[in-house]
Chain A
Amino acid sequence: MHAGIDALSESHQADTQVRPYATKTQTAEPTMASSERARDTNPKITVEDTDFFYGEKQALFKVALTVPTHQVTAFIGPSGCGKSTLLRCFNRLNDLVEGARITGKICLDGKDIYAPSVDVTDLRTKVGMVFQKVNPFPKSIYQNVVYGPQLQGVRRRSVLDGIVEKSLQGAGLWEEVKDRLHHSALSLSGGQQQRLCIARALAVNPEVLLMDEPCSALDPISTAKIEELLHSLKEQLTVVIVTHNMQQAARISDLTGFFLMGELIEYVETKTIFTNPSDSRTEDYVTGRFG
């Protein structure tokens, strides 16, 4: 495993000048100063040569990419292209699916997350997730936020109170709910509920936040709030977001990967993919010719 990582990081260093992120695509001219990128592209998640199967059906074909730390990475592509599947591989939520099988290697901070020694619950506290369908638990706002910390054994009321305030502030919800923390989470509006889910994920202090179309069920104002939130979030953690909305990807992400039929077609800086995609299929998709 170590050998693999070393090889990977070596290849990365070699590639940094021309193809910083994806191993598969030819990218256009780098836009950032190379020294800056060297710092920014410290890889958080690396995916090597990954195939994924739901039973007989293959959902991912030889995907390889790296997700840099403290950046927002967006996955776009038509429905069923495998972007959500890849996202759910990052916190091993696909383990629940009967007949699911993965080959290849996915590493978090250089460590294989599918290694037998990995504690899945540990992994999931490091890699938080926000879902497409807004899913606060039918409990109070407070209980929703402290759910994760309590699982980790935090019992002291004062500590939990602090976590609640910090997480809700981090999700931009504190001002709106601080007077009714013990009301039902289901009494909040859809957008507030989604931000509560973000706060809930932040409460366990994750290093990576996976977001699976977090705004698809929300109105434009709530969407704007969450997008705004993402800018501040990436100071603290690494964000991977799946979205159907190309404007959203363009607005919020630093890097964008385009998936089609389970293949990663193109993975470059966001600006590039929308202005100067190298693959014709990408161009067709981002210009709205299909998808």
Chain B
Amino acid sequence: MPARIKKFLDSGALFIWFCGTAVAASLLMVGGVLLLIMINGLGFFWPHALVELTLKDGTHVLGELKGEEVIPYSETPEFPEGKTRVRLKVGNRDLYGLDFRWVDTDQIVSAESPKDVAAFERREWGNFYGRIREVSRGEGVVATGNQEGWKALQPLIEQANDLHEEIEHLQRDVIGDINYDIEETRLKIRELALHGQGQVPEVAELQASTEQLETRYRKHVETLRTLSHRLDEYSVVLVETNGREKRLAVGQIVKALRPNDMGFVEKILRYFMNFWSVLSEEPREANTEGGIFPAIFGTVMMVLIMSVAVVPFGVLAAFYLREYARQGLIVRVIRIAVNNLAGVPSIVFGVFGLGFFVYAVGGTIDTLFYPEALPTPTFGTGGILWASFTLALLTVPVVIVSTEEGLSAVPREYREGSLALGATKFESMLRVILPCALPGILTGLILAVARATGEVAPLMLTGVVKLAPALPLDHHFPFLHFERKFMHLGFHIFDVGFQSPNVEAAKPMVYVTTLILVMVVIGLNLSAVALRNYMQKKFKASAV
């Protein structure tokens, strides 16, 4: 018997089982994470059906059904398993105070899905669920009743949305440009004053142009005011399920839907429209509503700047360590140090980035090149450049290690072959060794990108903000504004999930942002992999 057990143990079958179990467990965990995020994140875009409940006390509840649960410690002889309750998103925060409501199941008399109820997405106070009583223009009534009102409302909402777009364009592009120019002129005047040239004719010229700009500014603000008034031109009286009324300017409504009246195809269409609007729009209502475009943009741009910074840096260091440095104790110590650098907690890099990049380097840049803007810091405060550099520092060990591996994998015969043809060491490296090591270098880049996209902690110290007023890329020269603060998906998750006043309502947004962050990471990784494969093909085998 012991012999058989020993034979079994020696055969390694048990070991194979252990290995298989480990793989299965890992896959299960990864799959579980992805599945959870996908279900919660992708479900967010679906136009949910509305239910209207009639309760025992005669009141009604209207909202999206969000789930049913057993009330803890509620076992009674009547309900030996425990009473249950349902959770509804009832919206109408301005009327009810809360977005969500729990209703005990035994209180419900009947549940219906009336086709005539609508969900109104508003610019403030979240969704409104209910019916329309009347649509009016100023004091005059345009349409009364739910059906008539619904028909009248649709074109009005579209009109209002166009108006909003116009206002936004005016605010951001036209007035934004004027403000930008005014600020530039102010800085120029101050710069001249700092150089003791406060009296030259140029200053007077600049002041004159400032005044011109301000006149234009006032004119546009006037237009803006008229446009805003037009938003309030039409109003709608909404009524919630128990009859309480709410008067609302049509300009407050983003969109109105009757989810119970929508067909499947219509719902799918709406699903992708919702998805697109989250991807492309800016956040509203303390980030809990609207889109996350600035965060996606900031994340991608930061990773790109980081890649541009980290690759040359890491590759040069690796070339020195592997090709030029005399292999000995010192190089060994450096290598160990580099490897350990990869294990330093990222927040430590954040502190370093703040102290070194932001305060020391940025502060110096400000005193040298932007004295006219002081005391407002330009580079002496967190910004996308410093955040990217901090992450580059964080990921440079990865690039060094993979590049060194790539270099040591280049066969000695290639080096000798190149030297024997009269190449110098430098020419050999540039023309033979570097191309051969390129896959290794790009593997390093892939790992660096994967790590950098997911980092949040160091960014919080070096330039990420909850809401950035402008993207770091725009049409003002020099187009890339490295000093600007930016938004980041990882920080967005933290901010929406933990810092928002209405956590429950923000939950779907957290899942959506998480899902998109995962998609961005995968996307960036895939493009790095594609780049590597392309290079590999180009250099390894230009064969058919």
Contacts and interface: CB of A to CB of B under 8 A. Distances in A.
Contacts of A121: 422-424
A183 interface: yes
A204 B422 contact: yes
B542 interface: yes
A137 B424 CA distance: 16
Interface stretch (A147-155, A218-226, A233-241, A280-288): A147-155
B427 interface: yes
Given A151-B427, A152-B422, A183-B544, A139 B416 contact: no
Given A135-B411, A151-B427, A93 B543 contact: no
Interface stretch (B176-184, B361-369, B430-438): B430-438
B325 to A, nearest CB: 12
Contacts of B541: 138, 184, 186-187
A139 B427 contact: no
B542 A124 contact: no
B414 A135 contact: yes
B543 A186 contact: yes
Given A131-B416, A131-B417, A138-B435, A184 B543 contact: yes
A202 B423 CA distance: 15
B419 interface: yes
A133 interface: yes
A201 interface: yes
Contact of B542 (A147, A148, A151, A183): A183
Contacts of B422: 121-122, 124-125, 148, 151-152, 204
B417 A137 contact: yes
Contact of B421 (A96, A125, A186): A125
Interface in A99-138: 121-122, 124-125, 128-129, 131, 133, 135, 137-138
Contacts of A152: 422
B10 interface: no
A182 B542 contact: yes
Interface residues of A, number: 29
Nearest to A200: B421
Most interface-central of A184, A186, A187 (chain B CB within 10 A): A184
Given A135-B411, A183-B542, A186-B541, A128 B436 contact: no
Contacts of B411: 133, 135
Contacts of B423: 121, 147-148, 151
Nearest to B413: A135
Given A147-B431, A204-B421, A138 B416 contact: no
Nearest to A183: B543
Contacts of B424: 121
Contacts of B420: 91, 93, 124, 128-129, 131, 201
Contacts of A140: 542
B413 A186 contact: no
Contacts of A139: 435, 539, 542
Most interface-central of B416, B417, B418, B539 (chain A CB within 10 A): B417
Given A138-B540, A151-B423, A186-B540, A197 B436 contact: no
Interface of B: 411, 413-424, 427, 431-432, 435-436, 539-544
- By Cβ-Cβ distance, the 7 closest A-B pairs, closest first, are A135-B413, A125-B422, A184-B543, A129-B420, A148-B421, A184-B541, A187-B543
Given A91-B420, A121-B424, A184-B543, 7 more contacts: A93-B416, A135-B411, A135-B416, A138-B541, A151-B427, A152-B422, A201-B420
27 contacts: A93-B420, A96-B419, A121-B422, A122-B422, A124-B422, A129-B416, A131-B416, A131-B420, A135-B417, A137-B417, A137-B418, A138-B436, A138-B539, A138-B540, A138-B541, A140-B542, A147-B423, A148-B421, A151-B427, A152-B422, A182-B542, A184-B541, A186-B540, A186-B543, A197-B417, A200-B421, A201-B420
